Every structure is written in structure tokens, then in C-alpha cells.
Amino acid sequence: MSVVQISIILAFIIVILVIGVWAARKNPGQGDLILSNRQLPLWLALFTMSATWIGGGYINGTAEYTASAGLIWVQAPWCYALSLIIGGIFFARPMRRKAYQTMLDPLHERFGQRVTGILFVPALFGEICWAAAILTALGTTFSVILDLPYTQAMVASGILVLIYTSLGGLWSVAVTDLVQLVFIMGGLILILPFAFQASGGWSSVDHQYLAKMGDAASFLPSSANLGELKWYWMDSALLLIFGGIPWQVYFQRVLAAKNEQTAMRLSIGAGFICLVAAIPAILIGMIANTTDWATLGITFDNPSLSLPLVIRYLTPSWVAVVGLGAILAAVTSSMDSSMLSAASMFSWNILKPLSPRPLSINKAVRRSIWVVGLITLFIALKVDSIYALWFLCSDLVYCLLLPALTLALFDQKTNRTGILFGLVIAVLIRTSGGEPLLHIPPWFPYLRAEDGTILWPFKTMATAGNFLVAMLVSRFVASR
């Protein structure tokens, strides 16, 4: 690692920190850390929403699955784009119209504090897991490109984010997101021509990728590229699309918009930006898949390292450092949002109702940001797969939070008893398939593929069961 490389990375960190602190002082939201007094203009809200979703997990995970499983399994880019568009059309306007403070407010309004406290757990865990996946992406990238222990990179980046987030809240996060999005897209685009040149050009990469991946090189599902996994593929797609909606990190921007029309437009616009932003990562994944790594003395046995390996070995050193800056930008742009979102829910929906005396929300948010940040760092050290943790985040909110939030907004007959019964059914069905990432074994003998993958869409079944039971039990109780 050269002095020049260190200088460039330090310069980037200082720029982000200075901009974050400057934005904190210029906050027009009158000190409101959670929603910045709902002063986010459309252009800034659009950029911060896009940068939040285009995180390290998004970029690294997309490259990982392109290289290892084929384009048919690169579901997150188009699924999350649809998630933002659907959220904008159906959820953004009613949430902003009622001027809620957090995503949990409609749950508290409809079902009470106890149900809110229960649903806060998957909401918090989802935000923390998301941020942990992001930090892991940064750590592996640093370790490959600069030969640094990844723990150092994670700790340093985490502290950077926590400083400016705790100082300026949403406004600092939004302004730094704008700068970070420029770094992300500029860095990834800069990498491509050098990586393609080193791997023989686009035609060679495309030809080799099609030859190696076969039917899996297509985005369109078919019996040829999915076979017996068609229901598993559909389960994963629905999880990512609808599991991408009930996130505080999403609704924080929706609720901070100046009006409900702006809230809808920023969500739909961000969906299209996220889809375009995935293209460089997909191309880098194709390059990683078709490169003869053996000639470089490298064993390509860990697809999650696709992006950092391409950056380090297929680009000049100065480009590699710029690419690393892009990953650092992706990480910080998403982590700050997750930390603020988790702290906002905890302070507003948990601490405030339980506090025996008037509570300073801003002080509580600042303290909570640091607590959540330390928990995130701990979890990040235990992560094996970026993409697996990414799926688990959406898994939790898909099965548990989506039905409760949707029914709170759109079904006035659903009550607290129904919601509780729905949650119990969802947990039973979801755990029936186990969770390898958490070392939870399945307890129901579902039909499996040769590699052990459960073929039945039990996650969607858990979500559907949650919806159905909550509505039926609510109506039965009301009729008694």
C-alpha cells in the first residue's frame, strides 16, 4: 500500500466528514434530526433515497451473484427497483398525508404500544443486518485491495459515519448521500474500461459468459434456467420486492418530503436510478466470472470477492484506489441511513412513550445512533455472505412487518388481536424452513433440491398466512 493510496482514501474520508459537519450546521430543519422539519426538496430526497439503496451490499452482492449463479439469480436490482416504485404508488402518499414521524407510528395508532414494541424488533434487526452487510462489503474490499485487516476498515468507516450522522441527522445524511452517489457511479464507471481491456474486451467477456453460464445468463425466468427451482425463485423475488417496502430507512425519506406528491415522485424516481446503477456491478461480475484467475496466481473460490478482485488485479493502482473510494461511498451512504433509522424508531416509538418525564428526542437519537453503531460492528464481524445477510434482512420485514403495516394503513377492520395471531402464524411457518445463516434447522420436511434448497415458497406462505389470519381473526373477534 503506497503513500498515494493512503492519501487518496484519507482525503475522501476527510471530504465526507467535512461535508457532513458543514451540512449539520446548515440544517434548515430547525434541529430536527429525524425528519429535518420535512424540508427535503425533491432533488435532494431523490439522491438520498437512491444512495441509500445503492449500498455496499447492493454493489458487491450484485457482482457476486452475477459471477457465481448467473443473471437469472441477480434479482435484487430489479426487485428493489419495483419495490421503490410500488412503495411510491401505494404507500408513500398515505404515510406522508398523515404526517407520521416513523414507520411504526401507524402501528402504534392502530394496534397500541405493545404490538409496536414487538414489531420494533424485526424493524430494528432488519436495519442493523442491512448495515452489517454493508460494512462487511467494505471490509472485504479493503482487505483485498489494500491488504488491510478488514476489521480496521469497518471500525474506521463506522466511526466516520456515526460522527456526522449524530451531529446533523437526516440533513447531514442527505447532503453527504448526494456527494457519495457521485463517487459511487463515477468510480464504478471508471473501473469498467480498464477491466474490460484486461479481460479481452466486451465481446470476449460476453461470449465466454454465455458459454459458461448457459441458460442462467438470461434475466428472464424459464424452465430451462430454473427447472425445479421456479417456486424458490418466485419466493425470493416476492420477498425482495415487497420485503423492500416496510423499512424505516425508506419511510424516513418519504416522511421528510415537503408533501405527499414529492414523496411519491422521489420513490418512483429512485427506483429507476437504482436499476441503472446495478449495470456496472453486473458487468464487473461477468468480468470476474470469465477472467482466467489462475494465470494471475489467484484461486477464485469466493465469489463474494468478485468486485474487489477485479478492482485490484484488472485495473491500474490509481484506478483501484478510486474504485475503493466508490465502495467506501456506497457503504457510508447506506450505513448512515440505517443507523439514523434505527435510532429514530428506538427514540420516538420506544423511549419516548416509556420515559417517565419529557424526553429530548434529539439527545436520545444521538445516543441511540452510537449504541446501534456498536451493535452493527459486532454483527458485521460474524457475517459469512453479503448476499445471504441481505436476503435475511428483507426476509424478516417481509414475513412480519409488511402485513402489519399494510393492514394498519388499508384495512380498518384489523385489530390488535388479529395482528398478534397473524404474527404467531408467520413465525411458525417461517421457522418451519429453518435459517442456515442463524444455524436454525428446519422442522418441517419440505421437498428439497439436491443441494438442500427448499423448493416450496414457505416465506411467501408465511406472509400470506400472516395477512389471512390477521384479517380473519380480527373480524371474528369483532363479531363476538
Looking at the structure, do residues 161 and 249 belong to the same domain, yes or no?
yes
Looking at the structure, do residues 417 and 382 belong to the same domain, yes or no?
no
More confident residue, 323 or 1: 323
pLDDT of the residue at 234: 96
396 assigned to some structural domain = no
Looking at the structure, do residues 13 and 156 belong to the same domain, yes or no?
yes
Q: What is the mean pLDDT of residues 171-197?
A: 88
Q: How confident is the model at residue 119 (pLDDT cuts 50, 70, 90)?
A: very high
Each residue's pLDDT tens digit, 27-75: 775 567 889 889 888 999 998 899 888 876 788 889 999 999 999 999 9
Looking at the structure, do residues 67 and 203 belong to the same domain, yes or no?
yes
Which residue, 114, 110, 152, 112, is CA-closest to 135? 152
Q: What is the mean pLDDT of residues 372-392?
A: 71
pLDDT of the residue at 388: 66
Looking at the structure, do residues 431 and 362 belong to the same domain, yes or no?
no
Is residue 304 predicted with pLDDT exceeding 90?
no
Looking at the structure, do residues 345 and 231 belong to the same domain, yes or no?
yes
Q: Give the domain-ending residue among 357, 388, 419.
A: 388
pLDDT of the residue at 34: 87
Is residue 185 predicted with pLDDT exceeding 70?
yes
395 assigned to some structural domain = no
Looking at the structure, do residues 230 and 92 belong to the same domain, yes or no?
yes
pLDDT of the residue at 96: 96
Lowest mean pLDDT among 347-361, 371-385, 463-477: 371-385
Looking at the structure, do residues 375 and 459 belong to the same domain, yes or no?
no
77 assigned to some structural domain = yes
pLDDT of the residue at 171: 83
Task: Read off the pTM.
Answer: 0.90
Per the structure, the count of domains in the chain is: 2
Each residue's pLDDT tens digit, 352-364: 888 777 778 888 8
Each residue's pLDDT tens digit, 249-266: 999 999 999 999 999 999
| 179 within 8 A of 19, measured Cβ to Cβ | yes
Looking at the structure, do residues 333 and 429 belong to the same domain, yes or no?
no
Looking at the structure, do residues 77 and 196 belong to the same domain, yes or no?
yes
Is residue 386 predicted with pLDDT exceeding 60?
no
Q: Give the CATH number, domain containing residue 196.
A: 1.20.1730.10
Which residue, 49, 56, 102, is CA-closest to 390? 56
Q: How confident is the model at residue 280 (pLDDT cuts 50, 70, 90)?
A: very high
405 assigned to some structural domain = no
What is the torsion angle, in degrees rounded to the nearest 10, for the CA atoms of residue 185, residue 91, residue 475 and residue 459? -10
Q: Give the domain-ending residue among 388, 403, 422.
A: 388
Q: What is the mean pLDDT of residues 5-19?
A: 75
Each residue's pLDDT tens digit, 327-348: 777 777 677 788 889 899 999 9
Which residue, 392, 55, 79, is CA-closest to 219? 79
Gap between the Cα atoms of 240 and 130, Å rounded: 13
Gap between the Cα atoms of 412 and 73, Å rounded: 38
Q: How confident is the model at residue 98 (pLDDT cuts 50, 70, 90)?
A: very high
Looking at the structure, do residues 20 and 111 belong to the same domain, yes or no?
yes
pLDDT of the residue at 130: 78
Looking at the structure, do residues 480 and 348 belong to the same domain, yes or no?
no
245 assigned to some structural domain = yes
17 assigned to some structural domain = yes
Q: What average pLDDT does the structure give for the chain?
A: 87
Lowest mean pLDDT among 35-44, 86-95, 121-130, 197-206: 121-130
Bridge partners for 448 per DSSP: 454
Is residue 424 predicted with pLDDT exceeding 90?
yes
pLDDT of the residue at 146: 64
Q: How confident is the model at residue 299 (pLDDT cuts 50, 70, 90)?
A: confident
Gap between the Cα atoms of 265 and 269, Å rounded: 6
What's the domain range around 424? 411-480
Q: How confident is the model at residue 137 (pLDDT cuts 50, 70, 90)?
A: low
404 assigned to some structural domain = no
| 394 within 8 A of 242, measured Cβ to Cβ | no
Is residue 477 predicted with pLDDT exceeding 90?
yes
383 assigned to some structural domain = yes
| 288 within 8 A of 209, measured Cβ to Cβ | no
Percent above pLDDT 70 for the chain: 92
